[in-house]
Chains A and B, each alone.
Chain A
């Protein structure tokens, strides 16, 4: 017998007696990959072994249903996104989305699992937010905050069960003149909550935010390390442009070639910063979509519109506009065939001005421009919305 035989026996007996008290309920796992192995089906699989049931769900529960594409850097594919003159790499499978920010409909005090169907489809999987300002209230029915939801305010207002990994590229917060206070959701930080990791870093006026799911701790470092400065973006846009005047006159220069000569059209979204506009997001149309856009512009009625000058305030000026850059090939985005400017957020002077002259906004030439984030239409004149909002 050793010196602690009695104590050892006491521990052994205690554990043997207590072991049956352990939970025997379901072990609920949420798949973290967008695809599932062949042995697992997307709905539910039951494997009953000695009273333990294993459920594999891809829907609501008390933890997020994050579906990372692939958490290892070597296996992951990447793509470039950015604003202004800053680009970073993000997981290729993460699409651009508009983020929910409205908090007044998030109710506290219930343990009911939130209804994931209330979340926009874009936000039920990992996503990328590019550019600032255009955050929307899409939680119309709203998720509910669970009583064990207590992450740091830096994580924002979305309930924990609804979290998805994301990368955001935004302009840094600018405090109002009477305060230097930066909201928790805009402060640079590194924070963790139940294995999730939030990293936010600002450099030269552009903030990169990364929320990574458990097991994907290296993502933030990989994204931030990829940061680069560019003079022409991956979509063929320039980081800054001169703010256009209010006059709508066709520029001198050659008209566009025939539409079948067009291989790609860059859609570059600018926000006014005074005399210049900063790139706030972009998208590239290619192939048939690009050719159809050029054709739709060339076929649109001449002149500006839709306009309601009777609604104009004297001091109004456009704060946002697009620049379209057609290219002969999507493989060479260095030689624009003639830029066009798209005005849409005003009471008057709306339309497309470029090598095709001055043309009205139509469904055919406007909806494709705002069809998907990061170039989206959030507000504006009703007539413009009728022609430009894709749904």
Chain B
């Protein structure tokens, strides 16, 4: 979101000012990455608490946003792994097999997100909501630019297949 890019560039450098200005944006990112409101709130809180002792260094490096988003993304990955071990995950309803009314593209994309590996999900959120470049996504997810590109491409391919299945059922 262009406005968010401007906001990131001009965010306050003091901790409390930054949180006041950017907490909402972090909460949205966390929610889009997890799909769960309470989990999103926890991830943002954890990320800010981790950033606080490092604040001066992060500001000096100009690394605050990337650090916080990486922290949130890593947190979502950790929780996803834990839930996979502990909680039986219901198989997602395959597109086109439900007797419900056909869903629009946006609904299909959101449903697909809940089935994506958390790193892929984070990558598409960073690309299509935060409008980051692949290089910037790589910085946030601590991976190579090519890997970030691959994450997004796979998610797009999965969505294409889902949309195609939905069309076949119509």
**A residues neighboring B (CB under 8 Å):** 4, 6-19, 21-25, 27-33, 37, 39-40, 45, 47, 49-52, 54, 56, 63, 68, 71-72, 194-195, 214-216
Contacts and interface: CB of A to CB of B under 8 A. Distances in A.
A340 B110 CA distance: 77
Interface stretch (B42-50, B94-102, B133-141): B42-50
A236 B29 CA distance: 57
Interface in B104-125: 105-110, 113, 124-125
B28 A19 contact: yes
Interface of B: 14-17, 19-21, 23-24, 27-28, 30-32, 37-38, 40-41, 44-46, 48-54, 105-110, 113, 124-125, 127-129, 153, 155-157, 159-160, 163
Instruction: Specify which of A17, A27, A33, A49 lies most central, judged by the most chain B CB atoms within 10 Å of its CB.
Output: A27
A47 B129 CA distance: 26
Nearest to B38: A23
Contact of A17 (B44, B45, B106): B106
Contacts of B155: 11
B128 A12 contact: yes
Given A22-B40, A23-B27, A215 B110 contact: no
B52 A15 contact: no
A354 B106 CA distance: 86
Contact of B37 (A6, A21, A31, A71): A21
Contacts of B50: 195, 214-215
A16 to B, nearest CB: 7
A391 to B, nearest CB: 35
Main secondary structure of the interface of B (DSSP, over half): helix
Contact of B156 (A8, A23, A194): A8
A16 B2 CA distance: 13
B15 A19 contact: no
Contacts of B20: 47, 49, 52, 54
A10 B106 contact: yes
A15 B105 CA distance: 12
Contact of B129 (A9, A10, A16, A37): A16
Nearest to A214: B50
- 9 nearest interchain CB pairs? A22-B31, A10-B105, A215-B53, A47-B20, A13-B106, A10-B109, A15-B129, A14-B109, A71-B53
B14 A23 contact: no
A52 B7 CA distance: 15
Contacts of B41: 23, 25, 27
Contacts of B30: 22
Nearest to A215: B53
Given A10-B159, A54-B23, A29 B49 contact: yes
Nearest to A148: B42
B24 A216 contact: no
Contact of A23 (B16, B31, B54, B110): B31
Contact of B16 (A14, A47, A68, A72): A47
Contacts of B45: 27-29, 63
Contacts of B157: 4
B168 to A, nearest CB: 15
21 contacts: A7-B105, A11-B159, A14-B107, A14-B109, A14-B113, A17-B106, A17-B110, A19-B28, A21-B37, A23-B37, A27-B27, A27-B44, A39-B17, A45-B16, A52-B24, A68-B53, A71-B53, A214-B49, A215-B49, A215-B53, A216-B53
Given A4-B156, A27-B41, A37-B14, 17 more contacts: A6-B160, A7-B163, A14-B106, A15-B125, A24-B27, A27-B44, A32-B49, A37-B15, A47-B17, A49-B20, A49-B24, A51-B24, A52-B20, A56-B16, A63-B49, A214-B49, A216-B53
A8 B24 contact: no
Given A22-B28, A22-B30, A25-B41, A72 B160 contact: no
